Amino acid sequence: MAVGQCSFPTMHPVAGITLGTANAGIKQTVRDDILVIQMVEHSSCAAVFTQNAFCAAPVHVAKANLVHSPRWLLINSGNANAGTGEQGMQDALATCADLAEVVDGLAAQVLPFSTGVIGSPLPVGKIKAALREAVSNLDTDNWDKAAQAIMTTDTFPKGVSRVIEIEGQSVAINGISKGAGMIQPNMATMLGFMATDAKIGQALLQNCLALAVEQSFNRITVDGDTSTNDACVLMASGCSLAPEITQGSGNYQIFADAVTAVCKQLAEAIVRDGEGATKLMRIVVEQALTDEEAVRVGKTIAHSPLVKTAFFASDPNWGRILAAVGRAGVENMVLEDVQLYLDDVCIVRNGGRADDYTEEAGQKVMNQEEITVIVKLGRGEAVQEVLTCDLSYEYVKINAEYRT
């Protein structure tokens, strides 16, 4: 089940970036579960990774290899290679070496990524056997196949494609992501891969990605869990005819805004596909002292199981939202200054239930598939938005049966 229309878009080819998939039969044989992405030589590559202390073996290897001018990404679904100790590290390194042998490259220029069940040994033999097929399928038009190959409990493939203009020349920006559960990113999404043909140096590309991730993937939550395998990569082939993007230029701002917009669309798609989700909620916190304060209040509301189950039931139980605001750690909050809205329906003002609020008005909003919760703290000018979904019976079922 997904909230809203979630069809896969037409993806513009990104010159210098090719993608190939194959089925290794890691957990299923219905669809491809191996993805290889190849970058043209002299490409730039930036990445951000999970802050989970138990980060997966491929995260460690990808971090180490990022400094070696990466040329290839190797992604598998169905197995996270997390919680696998030293053997997991050796397995991640082995798959890099196996791909390097197939493409006649260096293992240190391969970034590995895995997603799936934690704690199971990575089936290195199955992955190795599928690599030649994946490499033989490398093509600029395989974005849809790539998005499907990285899915786990996702119900639909997630992709975004944009073309912007820089000094009269086209620059393409594509992105795919996967994620539906264990979503409370603390750097990026479960797995996200973006590519552009822009000319931009690695350091500036890294800065651009970090800023975009902070305003997108780090503003969503499905269930409050941060994965061991979170990673987001931005590749730049430099094949566009547009001039090189430099720090502080107007061209950089155009590019950075477009990258952030792509990240936001991908992040929203993850929330729409939240495991068992029936509603999408935008938590908008206004009049906070700082952005950090606004995000903290928004996430406290979004993480609350009581709030999320009330939305699943379409129950305008606004006391649960108010309680979440109250325990968000806002110092010296003046209760009489706080206002709370469901869409344009004011629920709380002057420290209590709004005089003109009616249960019927609240119920009408709660019956919607998409709902905006607005909290006005009356303390400052900072505004931030957090996206989340409801918590349903189906979420429990999916995760109770995840390994069966």
CATH number of the structural domain spanning residue 60:
3.60.70.12
> What is the per-residue pLDDT across 200-220, written as a single tens digit (0 to 9) for each?
999 999 999 999 999 999 899
The per-residue pLDDT for 266 is 95
The per-residue pLDDT for 228 is 77
Say whether pLDDT at 115 is over 70. Answer: yes
Within 8 A by CB and 6+ apart from 19, the residues are 35, 36, 37, 38, 138, 139, 140, 142, 143, 145, 146
Rounded percentage of the chain residues whose pLDDT exceeds 90: 83
> What is the per-residue pLDDT across 73-91, written as a single tens digit (0 to 9) for each?
999 999 999 999 999 999 9
Looking at 222, 246, 272, the residue that finishes a domain is: 272
Same domain membership, residue 317 and residue 388: yes
Higher pLDDT, 369 or 223: 369
Active site residues: 189
Q: b/e map of 350-382 (b: 16 or more CB within 10 Å)?
A: eeeebeebeeebbeebbeeeebbbbbbbbbeeb
Higher pLDDT, 14 or 229: 14
In a domain? residue 4: no
Higher pLDDT, 10 or 54: 10
Tokens 């239930």 identify what position? 353
Integer Rg of the chain from CA? 22
In a domain? residue 9: no
The per-residue pLDDT for 186 is 57
**Other C-beta atoms within 10 Å of 331: how many?**
7
Q: Which amino acid is at 317?
A: N
Per-chain mean pLDDT for the chain: 93
> What is the per-residue pLDDT across 264-278, written as a single tens digit (0 to 9) for each?
999 999 899 888 889
- CATH code (residue 312): 3.10.20.340
Domain count of the fold of the chain: 2
Say whether pLDDT at 183 is over 60. Answer: no
In whole angstroms, how far apart are CA 298 and each of 21, 160, 216, 312?
38, 26, 14, 18
Please count the residues of the chain: 404
In a domain? residue 312: yes
Return the bridge partners of 110, or none: 72
Looking at 219, 249, 272, the residue that finishes a domain is: 272
Q: b/e map of 29-65 (b: 16 or more CB within 10 Å)?
A: eeebbbbbbbbeeebbbbbbbbebeebbbbbbbbeeb
Same domain membership, residue 298 and residue 222: no
> What is the per-residue pLDDT across 370-396, written as a single tens digit (0 to 9) for each?
999 999 999 999 999 999 999 999 888
In a domain? residue 311: yes
Per-residue pLDDT band for 184 (boundaries 50, 70, 90) equals low
The per-residue pLDDT for 189 is 46
Q: In 3D, which of 195, 166, 164, 180 has the Cα closest to residue 44?
A: 195
Torsional sign, CA 222, 225, 228, 232: positive
Domain extent, residue 145, equals 17-272
The per-residue pLDDT for 187 is 47
Same domain membership, residue 321 and residue 208: no
Q: What's the token pair of residue 149?
A: 């190959």
